[in-house]
Amino acid sequence: MDRDPTLRSRRSFLDMVIGLGFTGLAAAVLYPVARYLIPPVRSGPGTRSVVLDPDDPAQVDPETRIFVFGSRPGILVKGPGGQWKAFSAVCTHLSCTVRFQAESNQIWCPCHNGLFDLNGRNIPGTPPPRPLEEFEVHEREDESGKKTLLVSKGRSA
């Protein structure tokens, strides 16, 4: 049909562009999809709940008992009855980060010496006006018998 060689070469060039274009498009679509399929190494912190291994120093600081809860710090302690308790580590006085104090077995704020008991209640006579916000803690056990804690902001069903 196409006896004109210039027309034919122009046509094959166009076909080549189209072929290249589709290849490029396929790459542009498949690249993000492929990257998406690779799971991220680290599970990210939630803003409303987080799964913690209480013995992992990378997750819960062994000394201060601080863990990361979204963009704010949380604190994980063993309550007076031996059960796990988690609170927002944001002091109710001036929003400093509180920490566990082993000597006194209390939660202590280094900014103004605010104290909370292990139920998160502010100790009268210290600056904090209110108890710490408490989180819900659910103990979970995986197949290998390893215990983890699901810490979540309360009141979600």
List residues near other proteins by CB under 8 A: 1, 11, 14-15, 17-18, 21-22, 24-25, 28, 32-33, 35-40, 42-49, 68, 70-73, 90, 94-97, 110-113, 124-127, 129, 150, 152-153, 155-157
73/120 with CB nearer other proteins = 73
7/102 with CB nearer other proteins = 7
CB of 153 to other proteins, least distance (A): 7
82/141 with CB nearer other proteins = 141
If phi > 0 it is left, if psi is from -120 to 50 it is alpha, else beta; for residue 142 that is beta
Token pair 């082993």 is found at: 102
45/79 with CB nearer other proteins = 45
DSSP letter string over 82-142? S-EEEEE-B-TTT-PBPEEETTTTEEEETTTTEEE-TTSPBPTTSS--SPPPEEEEEEEE-
Task: Report whether 43 contacts 52 (CB < 8 A).
Answer: no
CB of 117 to other proteins, least distance (A): 16
CB of 104 to other proteins, least distance (A): 12
CB of 71 to other proteins, least distance (A): 3
Task: Report whether 75 contacts 84 (CB < 8 A).
Answer: no
